[in-house]
A and B are shown apart, each in its own frame.
Chain A
Amino acid sequence: MNENNKGVLISVNGPVVVAAGLKGAKMYDLVKVGEEHLFGEIIELERDNTTIQVYEETAGIRPGEPVESTFEPLSVELGPGLIGQIFDGIQRPLEAVQDQAGDFITRGIEVPSLDREKKWDFEPKVEKGQEVSAGDVLGQVQESTTIAHKVMVPPNISGKVKSVEKGSFTIEETVAIIENEEGKEVPIAMLQRWPVRSPRPFKRKLAPSEPLVTGQRVIDTFFPITKGGVACIPGPFGSGKTVVQHQLAKWSDADIIVFVGCGERGNEMTDVLMEFPELIDPYTNEPLMKRTVLIANTSNMPVAAREASVYTGITIAEYYRDMGYKVALMADSTSRWAEALREISGRLEEMPGDEGFPAYLGTRIASFYERAGRVECLAQEDRQGSLSVIGAVSPPGGDLSEPVTQNTLRVVQVFWGLEDRLAYKRHFPAINWLISYSLYINNLEEYWEKSVAPDLSAYRTEALRLLQQESELEEIVRLVGMESLSFRERFVLEVARMIREDFLQQSAFHEMDTFSSQKKQYLILKAILIYHKEGEKGLEKGLSLRDLLSIPARERIGRAKYIQEEELESLEKIFDDIQEQISEKTRGEVESNV
C-alpha cells in the first residue's frame, strides 16, 4: 500500500480513535488501526482528522501508531460456505479464529470470512452466448443438503455470456465470463462482496400473503407474522425473549435462518451451536444447522462490532432472499445494538436525544427493518424471495415507553408483548394476549380459509373475545368477589383459563409440545370453543358448573397439546365426545327432575 495513505493516531478514547493525515479517506471506509492492525470504520471526517470506531479492544494502543485505509466500505463476503457457519459481528468465522488464536478472542486476527481452499461443484444454468442481466442465475452449487446456492450475476453487470464452465472450483476462481455492452470481459467468481450498510437491490416489493409458520400457537393463530413481515418482541429480562427467538429459529418454515446474537450471552450462542446440529428440521428432516447462519457478537465482545453485526446479518439474509429463498432473520437484541450506537455517539460528543440515545436512532431502526419484505428478485426470470425480520427488544425495567421500543413499534407490523408477570406464573411463552397485535390478519384470512380451515378466523376472534371478557370479569371479582358472577360468567372464566393453559401455554422443552402444526392448533382451539358452546347450552338446561367441569373430555382437552402430530384424528373425535358427554349429563339432569 502507498505510504501516503498512512495516517497517524492522535487520540484514543475507548472504541473511538482519531487519526490525522489519512489521505483520501471516505465515510464508512474500513481502516486498519495501530501496529496490531485492528479493524475500524471511519465515522466522521473533519479537515485532516478522521474519527474511527474500532471493532476490537483498544487498551494499550497509543497516539503515534499508524493508521491505514483500505478504501473500501465495510463489506461482507457472499458465496457458498456461509451456511452452518458462525461469524462474529464483522464476519470473521469464529472457528477459524479459534484455530488461530485459541479459546479466547485476541486482537488483530485476520482470517478470510469464507474458506478459500474448499472446492464446490458448479453446475451452469446458462449457456454460452446467452444474454444475462443483474440477478440472473449463472449456475448453482449444492451448499448443504437442502440449499442449492445460486450464483447470480452481480448487480450493475449485464451482457452476453462469453464462457461458462461446469466443474469443481474454489470461490475465487472464475466460473463464467460476461462480455458487457462496451465489449469488456468481466470474470465472475462465486465469491462476491457487498457493503453491509447498503440494502441489496430488487425489482419491487410485494404485499405479504403467506404466514411464516412458527409452530407456536400464540403466534401462528393469535398474532401471526408473514413471510417478509416484521415483528418485534419486547420484554423485561426473564420474560423469555431468547427462548421465543430460539423457538422461531428452530421451527419457522423458512428456508434459511440468520440468527444474530447481538450483545447477548455467550452461553446462549453456545446453546444454539450445540443444539442446532442435533435438532431435525420438521420440514426437511435435515439438521437445523444446514439452513442456519449464526452471527455472534456477545455482550463482552467489542461494542463497535456489535453495531455492525445486525448489518452483517441482514446483508447475508438479503443475499439468500435474492436467490429466491424464504429467509427469516432474528436479531437478539436490537436494544444492545441501539446501546452500541449510543455509546459511540456519546464518545463523539454528539448532542443526545431521549435517554442519551442519538437523535438519528429512529431513522436507523426504521431503515434496518425496511430491509425486510417479500420481493420480486432482480432477474429476468420471475423469482420471488422474502425476508422476515424479528427483533427482540430489551426495554430497561420492562418499560415500553423507552426510545428503542417506541421507535421500533413505529415500523413493525407485529408486536408480541412479553410480560414478566406471566413469566413468574410460568405461563410461557409469556406473550400478553391483551396488548399484543398483528396487522397481518387481513392479509392472511384468505390463506387460512384455503389452507387451514374456513372457520379458523371466527374461532380466533371468539377466543380473543373470551379472553377480553375474562379480564373484565376478573376486575369485578377483585372488587366484589366471585359470588357476584352468574354461572354463565363463571363458566367463561373457566373456559378462558382453558384457553390460557391448554392452548396459549406451550413448553419449549417438551418434545411433543415444542412444535404445533397449524392443524393441531386449530383443533385444540376448536375443542375448547365447542366445549364452551355446548357447556352454555347445558347451563341453560339446568346443568351446574360442577357437572360441566367434571366431564372426562375436559381433561382430554388439557392433554391435547401432547398428542403426536400423526395422531391428530383422535382429536377430531373429541368434538363429538364433548357434545355427547354434556348431553348425557343434561339427560341425567332432566330425569332426576322428573
Chain B
Amino acid sequence: MFKEYTTVTEIAGPLLTIEQIEDAQYMEIVEIELGGGERRRGQVLMTSKDKALVQVFEGTEGIGIGSTKVKFLGRVMELPVSSDILGRVFSGSGVPIDDGPEIIPEARLNINGNPINPVARDYPTDFIQTGVSAIDGLNTLVRGQKLPIFSGSGLPHSRLAAQIARQAKVLGREEKFAVVFAALGITFEESNYFISELRNTGAIERSILFVNLADDPAVERIITPKLALTAAEYLAFDLDMQVLVVLTDMTNYCEALREISAARREVPGRRGYPGYLYTDLATMYERAGRIKGRAGSITQIPILTMPEDDKTHPIPDLTGYITEGQIIVSRELSRKGIYPPIDVLPSLSRLRDKGIGKDRTREDHPDVASQLFAAYARGREAAELATILGEASLTDEDQIFMRFSEAFEKRFVLQGEYENRDIEDTLTIGWNLLRMIPRGELKRIRDEYLDRYYEEEGKKVEAQVTHQEENE
C-alpha cells in the first residue's frame, strides 16, 4: 500500500509543503487525513527530490503540522466513468451527492485530457437552432463551437443559458443529446434554478451535474470544469452523444486560480492573475469540438460575469481570445426591459459563416445578417447623435435608420423566455424590419435576394406576421 507521511512542514493558504518523502509525481493526487479522522484530497503542484507542494481542494482549515497524515496515491486526478453517470449529480470534486449508488467505472479518465490533434478535428458546420433570434439570426451557434456568454452580475444570463439548453436542436435530425452542467461557485438559487429547469423539461435524465456552490471550498473549483469536460468527452466521443456543456461562472474559477497563484508567490500578470491564465483557460475551452469519424460533439457555453461590466478585464479578454466568439448581455438593454438583452453589435460568432446559408439555413441568411448588423449599427449611431443634437438635426436617411434600430430591438431581439422561433421566423422578422429601409441602401444584400424577398414575397410574409401578432 501507499506510504503515509506525517512530515507536513509548512501550511500557507490552500498549500501544504511536505518533506522527507519519496519522489512524488507532478500533479499526483494525495489524500490528507486530519487529526480527527476527516479526509481531504489534494494535488501536487511542484515536486522535487524529497519535497512536494500540495494544494488542498477542500482548504487547509483545521490542518495542523504533526497531526496530519498524507498519502500519495500514485496517479493523477481521474474521473470514473460509465454510462450510468447520466442523470447524476456530483460535488465539485466528483463525489456523488445525490444519494444514488456509487459509480462502477468502466474506465478511469485523466481529467486533464489530451489536446485533440488539429488534423483529427472536423470543422463545425452544423447549425444549432436555439430558437433565440439574436443568436440564430446574427450570432449563430454551431455544433462543436465554444461560445461564451459575457454578462454582468444581476443580468439574466442563467435564464438565457437555460433557454438555449431547453430549445437547442439541429434541424432535421434525431440524435442522442446530453447536457453537462458545472456550477462554479454560484449561489444555491442560481444552481437550483438551472437544475429545476432541466427537471421540468425532463432533460435531467440526460444530464450530468457537477456542483460547487459559493460556500464550497474555492480551490475545489479548479478541478470542477475539468471533471465536467472529461465527462463530456466520454459522452461525446465514447457514447456518440451531442453534448452541450454549460460552465457557470468562469469568473469564480479564475479567481480561485489567482488565489493559489498568490499563495505560491508567483510573478503576477495583469491584475494579479497568473501569467498562465490564458493557457489554463485554453486547455479547457479547446476541449470543445468534433472529431472526424466520430458521431458525437462537444459544444461549450461558458458563462462569465465581467467585473464592473468591463470587457477588457483579463477574464473576459483572455476568454474572448480563445473562444469562437461571444454573446454579450447588456445592462442597458436589460434596463429597457428587453429579454434576452443581447447586444448584437459586440457579440460575435466566428463560426457563423460556415454554418449558415444555402443548404444549412437559407440562402439569403448571410446577406440578411450582414445587412441587419450594418443597419442596426448605423441606427444606433444616429440615435446617439440625436440624443446630443435632437432628432431634427438628423438627415432623413439617418432618421429611418434610427427608427429601424428601435424596431429591431423591440421586434427582433425581444422575445419570450419560452418562445422558440425557428430560423424561418427569425429571417421573416429580419426582412420585415429591412423593408423600413429604402432598397438602394441595402448594399449588403445581393440583388437576387432583394428581388425575391424584399419585393415579391414581401406582402405575403407581411400578412403572415400580422396574423401571428394577432394571435399573441
**Contact residues of A with B, CB < 8 Å?**
10-14, 18, 57-64, 86, 94-95, 97-98, 101-106, 236-238, 261, 263, 265-267, 269-271, 273-274, 296, 298-301, 303, 336, 339-340, 342-343, 346, 349, 352, 355-356, 394, 396-399, 420, 423-426, 477-478, 480-483, 501, 507, 509, 555, 558-559
Contact = CB atoms under 8 A, between A and B. Distances in A.
A99 B278 CA distance: 30
A61 B348 CA distance: 41
A334 to B, nearest CB: 13
A464 B283 CA distance: 44
B287 interface: yes
Given A265-B324, A266-B121, 14 more contacts: A57-B112, A59-B110, A104-B113, A104-B117, A105-B115, A238-B320, A270-B123, A271-B123, A396-B270, A397-B314, A426-B370, A483-B393, A507-B370, A509-B353
A63 B26 CA distance: 9
A95 B395 CA distance: 59
Contact of A64 (B23, B118, B119, B286): B23
B48 interface: yes
Given A60-B26, A355-B270, A424-B346, A274 B123 contact: yes
B351 interface: yes
B163 to A, nearest CB: 24
B27 interface: yes
10 contacts: A13-B46, A63-B24, A94-B119, A95-B119, A101-B117, A103-B116, A105-B114, A270-B122, A396-B270, A398-B312
Contacts of B275: 339, 342-343, 346, 356
Contact of A355 (B47, B269, B366): B269
Contacts of B115: 104-105, 266, 298, 300-301
A413 to B, nearest CB: 26
Contacts of A61: 25-26
A299 B286 contact: yes
Contacts of A261: 118
Given A265-B324, A424-B346, A478 B388 contact: yes
Given A105-B115, A238-B326, A267-B124, A424 B312 contact: no
A59 B324 CA distance: 28
A11 B46 contact: yes
Contacts of B110: 59
Contacts of A104: 113-117, 120
B278 A482 contact: no
A424 B377 contact: yes
Contacts of A97: 117, 119
Given A238-B346, A300-B115, A394-B321, A60 B286 contact: no
Given A97-B117, A398-B312, A478-B385, A266 B289 contact: yes
Contacts of A501: 443
Nearest to A12: B26
B269 A303 contact: no
B356 to A, nearest CB: 11
B276 interface: yes
B373 interface: yes
Nearest to B269: A356
A62 B47 contact: yes
A270 B288 CA distance: 13
A355 B320 CA distance: 20
Nearest to A306: B279
Given A265-B324, A424-B345, A63 B119 contact: no
A66 to B, nearest CB: 12
B70 to A, nearest CB: 16
Contacts of B373: 425-426
Contacts of A399: 312
B27 A59 contact: yes
Contacts of A342: 269, 275
Contact of B121 (A267, A355, A424): A267
A559 B442 CA distance: 11
B46 A60 contact: no
A336 B317 CA distance: 14
Contacts of B279: 263, 299-300, 303, 339-340, 343
Contacts of A301: 115
A303 B276 contact: yes
Given A11-B49, A343-B276, A483-B393, A86 B119 contact: yes
Interface in B264-303: 266-270, 275-276, 278-279, 282-283, 285-287, 289, 291-292, 294
A263 B322 CA distance: 9
A238 B268 CA distance: 26
B36 interface: no
Contacts of B119: 86, 94-95, 97-98, 273
A356 B393 contact: no
B28 interface: yes
Interface string B102-140: 000000001011111111111110000000000000000
Contacts of B351: 267
B276 A300 contact: no
B312 A10 contact: no
A582 B76 CA distance: 77
Contacts of B145: 267
Contacts of A397: 311-314, 317
A580 to B, nearest CB: 20
A342 B325 CA distance: 26
Given A64-B23, A238-B325, A59 B112 contact: yes
